[in-house]
Structure 1
Amino acid sequence: MFELFLPMLERLGIIVTVAFIITRFRFFRELIDQKTLDQRQRYMAIAFFGLFGIIGTYTGITYDTSSFDYGRWAYNLVESEALANSRVIGIVAAGLFGGYRIGIGAGIIAGLHRVSLGGFTGIACGISAVIAGIIAGYFHKKEEPLKLKTALFVGALAETVQMGIILLISDPYPRAWALVQEIGVPMIVANGVGSALFLLIIRNVLHEEEKVGALQAQKALKLAESTVSHLRKGLTLDSAEKACRIIYEEVQVSAISMTDKQSILAHVGQADDHHKAGEPIQTDATREVIETGKRVVVRHEEIQCQQPNCPLGAAVIVPLKKRQEVVGTLKFYVSSQKEISNVLLELIQGLSALLSQQLELADAEEAQELAREAEVKALQAQVNPHFLFNSLNVIVSLTRTEPDRARALLIALSKFFRQNLGATTKTWISLKEELKHVKSYLLIEETRFVDRLHVHYDIDEDALSARIAPLTLQPLVENSIKHGIKDQEGGAEITIRIHRDGNFVHISVADNGIGIEPMRLRTLGEQSVASERGTGFGLYNVNKRLEYMHGESAKLRITSEQGQGTTIAFTVPLQEKEIDHEG
């Protein structure tokens, strides 16, 4: 019995080596990665594991129960011969991996083959092959990873059952009993260990796939991060060309191409002399991807290139989507279909999903920007009626008592609105233009206050190229007049300062009025606050626009002491083009 151990281990080494080589093939790597097999894949798995069982039979060791000799490779057996083999390994692997149907299918193939070889144990071994598939299928757990000790146990159990069936069926019984005594223990041990080794190989392959998948996911994330600044501008000729160039430099393929639903947006790499941006889509495969939203792999002839010497031998085409709707495609070209590995397909699929998310983000950001712009326009529109209402109140109050002054005020108001008409349709305006508006406004107010109001200007001319939202200064000046100096009998002063400090412009409106109560000061500008003289909406309006258009750092800074006056200030950046324009 013990002299069989070494030959069995030698033959087992051959089986394990064959198993290792087979797992290097893409078909098997894809097969073991499938959690649910379709019918075609199931038949392929049965055939594969059945063949594996046949190899295990052929690599077995013959044992003659008459002469007690171990010998040759198994091709056919005489009546007195039996086999010590590792057929069970393939069948057990089939059942553990694929369940009952694949285990039984592989057992039938390997079992029929064993029966065809003959020998007095042929039928018993054929039946036990099917039963081994049933046993392994029982231990198949789809949602849990297989353990090495399970494979070891199932392999040993299946071989033990085979020894029992040989004793029950094979005739004559004394010959069967002698055979089991001689080969039983070595085969049980060898096939148990072999099943565990086979599972270990599969686990190693799966781990390798997961490791490669993680690396590809990392590369896809890196590429997505590199292209985000371009694709967030939308799917255009410029953004597609830059994104394709970034991907081409990182991925070892012949060319990268991107399309929208009608035409080629970019083509970077080989064949760029005749695959050009702006040309209409030519391939049926690209149209299929746009229609179905599914990945397509095409051969050279399916690329449908009009150039006979085109170096592009195959391609993978994946969809680019926004909100589940296909808006274009991403193409990876290679020189031969053999270069399209499972690893490359995973990278392409992951990159397609990430780029699609970027395009959705581009739409979301554009929508957010439009909504913000609409809110800015709405806030600006609310300023004009606010000022008009106040001015008309003044005019009405002067119409009976001082009609000439009312007439002058109407003329000034008319000039102001003519200047202001264009500003309300713009998002940005220069400080120079804004200051003109404020001066027109203050002319109206000085007319109303006669000699009680004095306005001082402290202006850096080189700061006036900075851009702000229209009607930003006027509500601040209005606030000073309405809440600060309105009730002063004389000596009311307002000072407007505009100073440049490097790439920033500091703007302030100060008055010498009554100041603001501390409780009100804490919320002023942050929300509309009711008071006897108004709602505080003007300052809230300005503050929100400054925050929207220049950021948090541009928000209003209000300092005030009761009886000492109020200063409202803010700071805006001087953009590069404004600096260049000034220079």
Structure 2
Amino acid sequence: MIDLFIMMMERVGLIILLAYLLVNVTYFKKLLYERELFQSKVKLILFFGVFAIISNLTGIEISGDKIILSNVLTHISNEAAIANTRTLAISVSGLVGGPVVGTVVGLIAGVHRAFQGTGTTGLFYIPSSIIIGILSGYFGGLLSKQQLFPNPLKSGLVSALMELIQMIFVLLFTGSLAEGVELVKLISVPMILLNSVGTFIFMSILNSTINQVEEAKAIQTHDVLELAAKTLPYFREGLKPDTSRSVAKIIQHYTKVSAVSITDKHKILAHVGAGSDHHIPEKDVITELSKEVLHSGEMAVAYHKEEVGCTEESCPLSAAIVIPLRSQGNVAGTLKLYFTDSRHLTELMKSLAEGLGTIFSSQIELGEAEEQTQLLKDAEIKSLQSQVNPHFFFNAINTISALMRRDSEKARELLLQLSQYFRSNLIGAAETLIPLEQELAQVDAYLNLEQTRFPDKYQVRFQIEEETRQMKIPPFSLQILIENAIKHAFDKRRNDNQIKVTIRTRDNRLEIEVVDNGTGITDERILQIGQGVLTSEVGSGTALYNLVRRINNLFGEEGSLTISSLSEGGSRFLIQLPVMREETL
């Protein structure tokens, strides 16, 4: 038995060696991940079928209680038996591929084993091998529910059970019962022990290799996500020389390639790494490979210096992957990963490059979409601002027109002031934000016109923190609140009409508060103001609705206009904006 044990160890070692070589082949690993597909099952059957046949051919022939030495068992006598690793191959095929793979491999192994002998005494190996394939596949399915492949220890126990089933068949169908008992005594312990240990080792190798792949993928995925997060702010600004250089440095840091180059459709925008002496930004695209990708829109790979197509003889770049960068379905430029050693250009690197191209293209499109959205917002804001200008203009003209009958000199002064006001307003018309100091000047001009029209009817007091004067606010925002108070807060009251304007910073937010002592606003009306155009005898609320939309467009949730009615009478309008100084814009 000891001799048989040692010889069986050699056979199991051969199978384990083949398993180690096999699971390190990329093609086989791909099969394992896709083993539920029909074509993958067929290929796994072929793989493990060959293993099972090799197990039969490398078995140890036993005649009676004697071991017959032989290198390859192509044929054995009718009275002889074989101690081999066939059950190991069938068990592993079922554990890995499932019942279908296990059954067909069992059939192949059983038929081959039956035809190694003469006569019909070996036919029982066919049903026994099929049963082992079915059961190992069933157990493989049960054990694989929580992970990709069964646990090695449990796989070893399944293999021991399968070998025990084989021993039962040997006991029952090998000659007489006495002969069966003697044969089982001789081969059962070595075969059960070594085949189960062999299965344990095989599955350990398989799980270890797959785990390494998964860990590598996890690390790569983490790096890719981190890379994408770091490049997003740059690609959102589009393909520009300054941002492209920053992106190229980030990509080279994470991918460890020899050089990274980014181009638009005509010129090199950035080149970092080997070959920087002649792959110079702002020069035209110089490699034929890049021109080909720009023309075809398909990824291209060069494994030799000649394929890269650089015209510089001393160029150290000997291999490259060029990926098109797309925007709205059109090629906007290229991303190029260069290698000074073509052996570093692996299938994994090609997959990584292709994925990066997709991510970066999406980032470029996102940036363009955001730019278009911002342009639309700016256009809307400018349109809203243009609606305020006529509103103020016609009020001012009416005031001056009325004054000309009583005091033409005063009307002339106001007309000049109005002219100066609109001149400064036109200069800042292109801006969506202006300094508070500029807004205060406009408000002052407005109040001069109103006070001239209605002398001493309104008292407007200002309390302004000095540091807020250079902070940015939407044009006309303060004027609209004051004008709203003058027109709507006091009904027909002729005196004691007080308006207090307070401008301050609180919790890193700019607050503009306008409080009046007027008649107040109903709760129902408060909910309606700023939400749309209103039906009213005294106004439509368009100006406040205009202001709310501009604040939302510019600041989102960071900006707000809050309206409330005071218990002692009057109303309160509060604009809250993020603090935006000149240097933050």
Q: Report if TM-score (shorter chain) is over 0.5.
A: yes
Moved more, 379-388 or 128-137: 128-137
Q: Distance in 2 between matches of 1:198 and 1:70?
A: 28
Aligned-partner Cα distance in 2 for 1:225–1:194: 46
**1:223 matches 2:222:** no
Is the Cα contact below 8 Å between 2:289 and 2:300 reproduced in 1? no
Task: Give the match's secondary structure for 1:312.
Answer: coil
Summarize the Cα distance change of 1:176–1:267 in structure 2 as closer, same or farther, 3 Å threshold: farther
Give, in angstroms, the shift of residue 268 of structure 1: 1.9
Q: In structure 2, the residue corresponding to 1:19 is in which secondary structure?
A: helix
State which of 440, 444, 457 in structure 2 corresponds to 1:439: 444
Report what 1:270 is aligned to. 274
Q: Which residue is 1:299 aligned to?
A: 303
Confirm or deny: 8 A CA contact 2:93 2:137 kept in the other structure. Answer: no
Task: Report matched runs for 1:415-564 at 5 Å.
Answer: 416-453=421-458, 463-485=468-490, 487-490=492-495, 492=497, 494=499, 507-509=512-514, 511=516, 513-517=517-521, 519=523, 522-523=526-527, 526-528=530-532, 531-550=536-555, 552=557, 554-556=559-561, 561=566
- The 2-side partners of 1:137 and 1:324 are apart by 52
Aligned to 1:85: 84
Structure 2 residue runs without a partner (length 5+) = none
Q: Which residue of 2 aligns with 1:384?
A: 389
CA 1:418–1:562 in structure 2 vs 1: closer, same or farther (change >3 Å)? farther
Alpha-carbon contact 1:88-1:155 (below 8 Å) kept: no
Going from structure 1 to structure 2, the CA distance change for 1:57 and 1:261 (only over 3 Å counts) comes to farther
Q: Secondary structure at the match of 1:69?
A: strand
Look up the equivalent residue of 2:67 and give its one-letter code. D
Query: Is the CA contact (8 Å cut-off) linking 1:114 and 1:126 kept in structure 2?
Result: no
Report the alpha carbon displacement of residue 245 of structure 1 after superposing the two structures with TM.
0.9
Supply the distance in 2 between the matched residues of 1:129 and 1:326 (Cα, whole angstroms): 61
Question: Matched residue of 2:239: which SS?
Answer: coil
Amino acid at match of 2:59: G
Which deviations, in whole Å up to 9, do the C-alpha atoms of 1:45-78 show, x marking residues without a partner?
Answer: 6665455446535643233x27823435437667
Name the SS of the counterpart of 1:227 in structure 2: helix
RMSD (CA atoms): 5.2
Structure 1's 81 and 543: CA in aligned 2 closer, same or farther, altered over 3 A? same
The answer on whether the counterparts of 1:314 and 1:333 sit within 8 Å (CA) in structure 2 is yes
Residue of structure 2 equivalent to 1:205: 209
Q: Is the 8 A contact 2:551 2:560 kept in 1?
A: yes
Contact 2:293 2:324 in 1 (8 A): no
How far the C-alpha of 1:22 sits from its partner, in A, is 3.5
Per mean C-alpha deviation after superposition, the further-off stretch among 343-352 and 379-388 is: 343-352
Could you tell me how far apart the structure 1 residues matched to 2:10 and 2:179 are?
Answer: 26
Deviation of the 1:299 alpha carbon: 1.0
Aligned with 1:336 (options 333, 338, 341): 341
Please give the per-residue CA displacement for 1:493-545, whole angstroms capped at 9, x wherever unaligned. 5565666899876545555x524235368547553565542233323432443
Cα distance in 2 for residues equivalent to 1:483 and 1:499: 25
Match of 2:66 in 1: 68
Residue type matched to 2:83 in 1? Answer: A
- Structure 1 CA distance, aligned partners of 2:281 and 2:57? 59
Distance 1:519 1:103 in 2: 77
**Is the alpha carbon distance of 1:16 and 1:323 closer, same or farther for their aligned partners in structure 2, counting shifts above 3 Å?**
farther
- The within-5 A match list for 1:91-130 is 93-94=92-93, 97=96, 120=118
The verdict on how the C-alpha distance between 1:563 and 1:152 changes in structure 2, with shifts beyond 3 A counting, is closer
In the TM superposition, residue 481 of structure 1 has moved relative to its aligned partner by 1.4
- 1:214 maps to 2:212: no
Distance in 2 separating the partners of 1:122 and 1:241: 77
Bigger shift: 541-550 or 318-327?
Answer: 318-327
C-alpha distance after superposition, 1:358-387 (max 9, x if no partner): 334323433432333233223223323433
Stretch of structure 1 that moved more, 185-194 or 479-488: 185-194
Cα shift at 1:562: 7.2
Contact 1:437-1:474 within 8 A present in 2 as well = yes
**What letter is aligned with 1:371?**
L
Partner of 2:375, secondary structure, is helix
Once residues 446 and 297 of structure 1 are traced to their aligned partners in structure 2, the CA distance between those partners, rounded to angstroms, is: 77
Letter in 1 for 2:223: K
- CA distance in 1 between counterparts of 2:92 and 2:295 reads 41
Could you say which residue in structure 2 is the equivalent of 1:34?
34
Looking at structure 2, the residues matched to 159 and 263 of structure 1 have their Cα atoms a distance apart, in angstroms, of 72
SS of 1:447's partner is: helix
2:24 pairs with 1:20: no
Partners of 2:421 and 2:561 in 1: CA distance: 25
Q: Is the 8 A contact 1:216 1:346 kept in 2?
A: no
Contact 1:416 1:440 in 2 (8 A): yes
> Where does structure 1 lack aligned partners over 5 or more consecutive residues?
none
CA deviations 1:241-292 (Å, max 9, x no partner) are 2122123223333223334455443322222223333432634478459846
Is 2:432–2:475's contact at 8 Å kept on the other side of the alignment? yes
Contact persistence 2:325–2:334 (CA under 8 A): yes
Taking every aligned residue pair, what percent have the same amino acid on both sides?
Answer: 32
Matched positions, count? 573
* Closer, same or farther: CA 178–484 of 1 in aligned 2, 3 Å: closer
- 2:236 is aligned to 232
Tell me, yes or no, if the aligned pair for 1:521 and 1:558 is still in contact at 8 Å. Answer: no
Match of 1:369 in 2: 374
* Maintained 8 Å contact 2:90/2:133: no
Distance 1:283 1:133, change over 3 A: farther
Distance 2:562 2:352 in 1: 51
Structure 1 position 402, deviation (Å): 6.5
In structure 2, the partner of 1:255 is 259
TM value normalised by structure 1: 0.75
Q: 1:246 aligns to what?
A: 250
Alpha carbons 1:237, 1:265 under 8 Å: kept: yes
Separation of aligned partners in 1, 2:244 and 2:501:
49
Say if 2:35 and 2:41, in contact at 8 Å, map to a contact too. Answer: no
- The residue type equivalent to 2:214 in the other structure is E
8 A Cα contact 1:50 1:110, kept in partner: yes
* Greater Cα offset, 474-483 or 368-377: 368-377
When the two structures are superposed, what TM-score results if normalisation uses the length of structure 2?
Answer: 0.75
